[in-house]
Amino acid sequence: TLLNARTPEEVVFTSGGTESNNMALLGACKHSNRVKRHIISSTIEHPSVSNICRHLKHTGHQVSYIPVDSKGILNLQELSLTLTEREPLISIMLANNEVGTIQPLQQVVELATPYHAIVHTDASQAAGKVPCDVQPLGVDMLSLAGHKLYAPKGIGALYIKNGTPLENLMHGAPQEQNRRPGTENTAYIAGLGKACELARQQLETEAKRLRKLTQQLYEGLKNLFPNDLVHHGDQQNKLPNTLNISIKGIQGNLLLNTVQQKVIFSTGSACHANAKEISGVLRAMGVSMETGAEAIRISIGKYTTSEEIEAAMKCIYNAVQTIKAR
DSSP assignment string, 210-257: HHHHHHHHHHHHHHHSTTTEEE-S-SSSB-TTEEEEEETT--HHHHHH
CA distance 300 to 225: 20
Count of Cβ atoms closer than 10 Å to residue 98 Cβ:
26
* 271 is annotated as an active-site residue: yes
CA distance 148 to 146: 5
Distance (Å) of CA 229 to CA 68, 173, 265: 22, 55, 16
Q: Which of 29, 53, 271, 315 is catalytic?
A: 271
CA distance 243 to 297: 6
Contact 165, 119 (CB under 8 A): no
Rounded to the nearest 5 degrees, what angle is found at the Cα of 98, between the Cα atoms of 140 and 78? 55
SS3 (DSSP) at 15: coil
Catalytic residue ranges: 271
